[in-house]
Amino acid sequence: MKFPNELKYTESDEWVRVEADSATLGVTDFAQDQLSDVVYFEVVVQVGDKLSKGDAVGILESVKAAADLYSPVSGEVTEINDALPDNPELVNSDPYGMAWMLRIQMSDPAELEQMMDAGAYQQNTEERSG
Amino acid sequence: MNRVEPNVYELSTPGRPSHRFPDLDVPFAELPDKMLRDHLELPELSELEVTRHFVRLSQLNFGIDTAFYPLGSCTMKYNPKVNEDAARLPGFAHTHPLQDTKVLQGNLALMYTLQEWLAEIGGFAGVSLQPAAGAHGELTGILILRAYHQDRGDPDRKKILVPDSAHGTNPATTTMSGLSVIELPSDKRGNVDLEALRTECDDTVAGLMLTNPNTLGLFEEHVEEVIKLVHDCGGLVYGDGANMNALLGVIRPGDLGFDVLHYNLHKTFSTPHGGGGPGSGPLGVSEALLDYLPGPIVDTVEPGDDDLPPLYGLVMPKKTIGRVKAFHGHFGMHVRAFTYIRSYGKSGMRDIADHAVLNANYLLAALRDTYHVPFDRTCMHEFVLEGRFEKAPGVHALDVSKRLMDWGFHPPTNYFPLIVQEALMIEPTETESKATLDAFIEAMKSIAQEAEDHPEQLQTAPHTTAFGRLDEVQAAKELVLCCRPAELSTAET
């Protein structure tokens, strides 16, 4: 299970990669492992949409369960990974790379401080797996 | 793929007759040209071939009539055959809902009595038999709840509180009703977390959807306090009656304070469940919500006396949310549920719940040392185990389930509720004998041992069924729902 140090994490298993005030969003290795084979992915926002922290941005379905994705930051959607809906299995094979979901121009980067670092997130997932 | 039985088109031989029309007793006439079609691919088989084909297919079926079916939260109990006898009585089977109610008095009397019995069993003021199944009953109930708030000039109540152990249909129902879902966490004992509930209770709460016992098979220990908190902030409490089998004749949800509850006739009241259905999800409501029930419902329009039975009719409640189903709901299921309740009688209701809970606890007691039980206390009619093993990290709940098929058992519910890792949700129901339960225990223990010794036996199971491990990923991604020859050949390339 991978927990890259350079990323920020949420309790609902999204990761964020920050470059200047742009945030790239995806779901974590732990989440894909829990979901098992992902068979469906849909983004429910469009480029240009203004998001508030906590807004639902996508839907994932696996053979076991369905899950909503939430944006941990506020801002404007600048880019969406168009390849993902046709290749949802990328979420399983490359959660932190090819399976990025969307990019957001952050309006309030201070929100990142409420997210977990890799160590805290790893501990959080261990507690949840009992 | 190894195909056990060809489809009916592949068995077709052009020109083979399966029937003979009787001699014409009217003048012969050609069909008009524009009404003739030549592209319909109708299979041509003899009657014997058709019979064998469908008998072979039926033998591939697995059902409650074949073997043990412990599918949690589904209450796959035996469907007594006397129900089928009753449903086939010509007076029921040959009537049509568009007939004058004066000639449907027997049917209406049955529906009226069933409404009354369900109201009595659940502790409610009234019942509508319209909803087609459980989720439809939920939707109907939440629409009633919304209508109630709107009618009182309180339309800003948009929040529906849903515990994280709830059936997925609860949040879906809420969203379909135009309301918003607030998820409530469970506490360490599997109850609704009271602190979290208190935080959410305010004047925007439309209601709470509560399943009791919940999907962990556990009785909500603070149920009266939970309901009071919601009522105190002006909300109503919806009861998901999927697990009513545990409560029959013991506790009435209406007495606990539930305002609305749906019954699953196809679970608790022994009507067929699944492909053989259809379902039926009657709704019970408290006095305050009676006027909002969907209609028509059956009522007495002229009282009877010593010589004459009452005259029954179809009435619309005063502020009804309207019709939610064509005609009167699934009447054939009403007949079966009526027959079931009549067969058991009043005292028999409690026997059902007692034996369902006893059977579940017998299994739990025998399996808790072999499988981890995350919320381990006395269960109700079902319980949830973890299908994972410290010494066999590569084995999952799905593998345990698939291996159970080799023992001739239907798998339990997998991966639900979501708050349990690798969940296996087991509900034996009251209709299974101790011998069957013991055989299931032996299978579960043997599989746990095998997970450590020969994990691959689980990971590649089932081995003894007509089809082995199916590719669930491909099945979810590439839907092939039609099986005519042209589509079949496309699908297989």
Instruction: List, as one string, the DSSP characters of B335-378.
Output: HHHHHHHHHHHHHHHHHHHHHHHHHHHHHHHHHTTTSB-SS-S-
Domain extent for B152: 81-343
CB contact under 8 A, B418 and A39: no
Tell me, yes or no, whether B87 lies in a domain. Answer: yes
Query: What are the residues whose beta carbons fall under 8 Å from the beta carbon of A52, sequence distance 6 or more?
Result: A71, A74
Separation of alpha carbons B97 and B382, rounded Å:
38
Nearest Cα to A14, choosing from A51, A46, A49?
A51
Burial-class residue B435 by CB neighbours within 10 Å (0-12, 13-18, 19+). Answer: exposed
Tell me, yes or no, whether B234 lies in a domain. Answer: yes
Q: Give residue B138's identity as a one-letter amino acid code.
A: E
Residue B112's pLDDT is: 98
Q: Give residue B146's identity as a one-letter amino acid code.
A: R
Query: Going by DSSP bridges, is the β-strand pair B236-241/B260-263 parallel, antiparallel, or unpaired?
Result: parallel
Chain A residue with minimum CA distance to B418 = A65
Mean pLDDT by 10 residues, chain B (493 residues): 76 87 91 86 91 93 93 95 97 95 96 98 98 96 98 96 95 96 96 98 98 97 98 98 97 98 98 83 98 96 93 97 95 98 96 98 98 96 97 96 98 94 97 98 98 98 93 85 56 41
CB contact under 8 A, B477 and A39: yes
ipTM of model over 0.85: no
Residue B489's pLDDT is: 46
Tell me, yes or no, whether B15 lies in a domain. Answer: no
Query: Going by DSSP bridges, is the β-strand pair A56-62/A38-43 parallel, antiparallel, or unpaired?
Result: antiparallel
Residue B490's pLDDT is: 46
- Most A CBs within 10 Å, among B477, B478, B479, to test the A interface: B477
Select from B374, B414, B472 the Cβ nearest to the Cβ of A130: B374
Tell me, yes or no, whether B374 lies in a domain. Answer: no
| Chain B contact present for A1, CB below 8 A | no
Select from A37, A39, A129 the Cβ nearest to the Cβ of B421: A129
Separation of alpha carbons B44 and B37, rounded Å:
17
Number of domains in chain B: 1
Q: Are A84 and A90 in contact (CB under 8 A)?
A: yes
CATH number at residue B243: 3.40.640.10
Residue B486's pLDDT is: 52
CB contact under 8 A, B473 and A64: no
Backbone angles phi, psi at B116, to 5 degrees: -65, -45
Select from A40, A63, A65 the Cβ nearest to the Cβ of B472: A63
Mean pLDDT by 10 residues, chain A (130 residues): 96 95 96 93 95 94 90 97 94 96 96 96 90
Could you tell me how many residues make up chain B? 493
| Chain B contact present for A108, CB below 8 A | no
Shortest alpha-carbon distance between residue A77 and chain B (Å): 24
> Which residues of chain B have a CB within 8 Å of the CB of A129?
421
> Which residues of chain B have a CB within 8 Å of the CB of A63?
472-473, 476
Tell me, yes or no, whether B105 lies in a domain. Answer: yes
Separation of alpha carbons B54 and B5, rounded Å:
10
Tell me, yes or no, whether B170 lies in a domain. Answer: yes
Chain B residue with minimum CA distance to A38 = B473
Separation of alpha carbons B468 and B457, rounded Å:
12
| Chain B contact present for A63, CB below 8 A | yes
Residue B275's pLDDT is: 66
Residue B73's pLDDT is: 92
| Chain A contact present for B421, CB below 8 A | yes
Where are any strands of DSSP class E within B26-174? Answer: 126-128, 159-163
Shortest alpha-carbon distance between residue A110 and chain B (Å): 26
Query: Going by DSSP bridges, is the β-strand pair A8-9/A14-19 parallel, antiparallel, or unpaired?
Result: antiparallel
| Chain A contact present for B418, CB below 8 A | yes
Tell me, yes or no, whether B186 lies in a domain. Answer: yes
Q: Which residues pair with B311 in a beta bridge?
A: B302
Q: Give residue B134's identity as a one-letter amino acid code.
A: G
Residue B491's pLDDT is: 43
Q: Which fold has domain A14-106?
A: OB fold (Dihydrolipoamide Acetyltransferase, E2P) (2.40.50)
Residue A66's pLDDT is: 87
